[in-house]
Amino acid sequence: MGIVRLEKKRVQPINEVNEVGRDHRSQLFFWLSISLPIAFFITVTTAVMIGAVQINPVTVWEITLSRTPFIGDWISQDWNTVYGQIIWGIRLPRVLLGAIVGAGLAIVGVSIQALVRNSLADPFILGVSSGASVGATLVILFGAFQLFGQYALSVTAFLGALISMVLVYFISRIRNKITTTRLLLAGVAVSMMLGAATNYIVISSPNEEGMKDAMFWMMGSLAGARWDQLMIPAIVVVTGMLCLFIQYRPLNMLLMGEEAASTLGVNIESFRKFLILLTALLTGVIVAVSGAIGFIGLMIPHIVRVMVGSDHRRVLPISALLGAIFMIWADIGARVLAAPEELPVGIITALCGGPFFIWLLRRGSYSFGGERD
């Protein structure tokens, strides 16, 4: 009879497994920090090149750098002036606006998911976009609030977003306390009411062409990008990013639950108010210049947390870069897929986001923060 030898298998301790996972994510974060800026540069170049008039990359950067202070004096200007108008006047501001919007929606998604501790939360779950849409459609269809001049659309969309955020805050506040459940339910209720108001405004318009413009804007578009539109959203997104990055410790603690965060010294009420106001400001400004674009704030934080973990020092910058790149490519798709017509960019992001979440649900091994079940 043969002798059966049993080999003893070494069981790897849990702390060693966690250490290996942390090392893997640290390495991946390092490579993403190097590769994503390069991918962003390539994406911007490609987006400016593509269009009805094809332009080579050398001309793209010659024209771009020629308009840059101090550098422009050293660049020869022997290109076609039509190319200069196309690149500087039309394509480049649109691409940069797409980068700002994508980065902004991604970091707002990160902050809201930490705030409500819900991996399916997005920048629009608190009704902010619905409030912005009410103000914007009033301007587009009825020419309201013309006292703000050329900034009427941006100002009224932001005011609508802010009002909706305040409504959600006071509705969900009972006995001077706000719970995550009440906050989410209040956001859904306010979003539905303001969405109905927006639809009523649209169908009440006497201008059929204005109705089409309003519907196109509500589905998201970067078609009207101009240089004078970039300054405010760029400042707001960069400032918001810095504020969230500085507060990365409280954001990390929120993922452990409100009681644990309070025990570790986080003032939950004050920090929640800070996140709500910052979210309202960021989303309102973004929706004002691009319309309602969904799924970026849902998809990008998921993808990033799976890759680099849930530490917001890593999640925020990687999400901003990945969101900017994704938004630019979505806009390329909106311009190219139905050329010479143009699709609302929100359709492209929905076509990408829907299958992503079906896969996520079917996968059954994802949990919030990027750890597998």
> What is the 3-class SS of the chain, one letter each residue?
CCCCCCCCCCCCCHHHHHHHHHHHHHHHHHHHHHHHHHHHHHHHHHHHHCCCCCCCHHHHHHHHHHCCCCCHHHCCCCCCHHHHHHHHHHHHHHHHHHHHHHHHHHHHHHHHHHHHCCCCCCCCCCCHHHHHHHHHHHHHHHCCCHHHHHHHHHHHHHHHHHHHHHHHHHHHEECCEECHHHHHHHHHHHHHHHHHHHHHHHHCCCCHHHHHHHHHHHCCCCCCCCHHHCHHHHHHHHHHHHHHHHCHHHHHHHCCCHHHHHHCCCCHHHHHHHHHHHHHHHHHHHHHHHCCCCCHHHHHHHHHHHHHCCCHHHHHHHHHHHHHHHHHHHHHHHHHCCCCCCCCHHHHHHHHHHHHHHHHHHHCCECCCCCEC
How far is it, in rounded angstroms, from Cα 282 to Cα 289?
11
pLDDT > 70? residue 369: no
| Arithmetic mean of pLDDT over the chain | 83
pLDDT at 54: 87
Q: What is the pLDDT of residues 57-72, one digit of tens each?
A: 988 998 888 888 777 6
Share of the chain above pLDDT 70, in %: 87
Token digits of residue 234? 């760029």
* 119 vs 188, more confident: 188
Q: In this structure, which amino acid lies at residue 46?
A: T
Share of the chain above pLDDT 90, in %: 30
pLDDT > 80? residue 80: no
CA angle 24, 26, 32 (to 5 degrees): 100
Give the distance from CA 182 to its chain's centroid: 24
Q: What pTM was estimated for this model as a whole?
A: 0.86
Q: What is the pLDDT of residues 214-258, one digit of tens each?
A: 777 788 889 878 898 899 899 999 999 999 999 999 999 988 877
pLDDT at 6: 46
- Please compute the mean of the pLDDT values over residues 142-170 and round it to a whole number: 80
pLDDT at 235: 94
Q: How many residues does the chain have?
A: 373
Domain boundaries, given as residue ranges, for the chain: 14-125+221-363
State the virtual CA torsion across 251, 120, 98, 197 in degrees, nearest 10: -110
Tell me the backbone φ, ψ of residue 199, rounded to 5 degrees: -60, -40
Question: Across 167-181, 184-198, 307-321, which has the greatest mean pLDDT?
Answer: 307-321
**317 half-sphere exposure, CB direction, 13 A CA radius:** 13
* 105 vs 358, more confident: 105
- Please compute the mean of the pLDDT values over residues 38-60 and round it to a whole number: 93
Question: Across 86-90, 111-115, 352-356, which has the greatest mean pLDDT?
Answer: 86-90
How far is it, in rounded angstroms, from Cα 267 to Cα 285?
27
Do 280 and 256 touch, CB atoms closer than 8 A?
no
pLDDT at 17: 45
pLDDT at 40: 98
pLDDT at 248: 94
Do 275 and 115 touch, CB atoms closer than 8 A?
yes
| Nearest residue to 132 (alpha-carbon basis) of 277, 237, 279, 284 | 284
14-125+221-363 maps to CATH 3.30.300.10: no
pLDDT at 19: 56
Q: In this structure, which amino acid lies at residue 29?
A: F
pLDDT at 96: 96
- pLDDT-based confidence at residue 173 (cuts at 50, 70, 90): confident
- pLDDT-based confidence at residue 169 (cuts at 50, 70, 90): confident
- pLDDT-based confidence at residue 287 (cuts at 50, 70, 90): confident
- pLDDT-based confidence at residue 2 (cuts at 50, 70, 90): very low
- pLDDT-based confidence at residue 8 (cuts at 50, 70, 90): very low
**280 half-sphere exposure, CB direction, 13 A CA radius:** 22
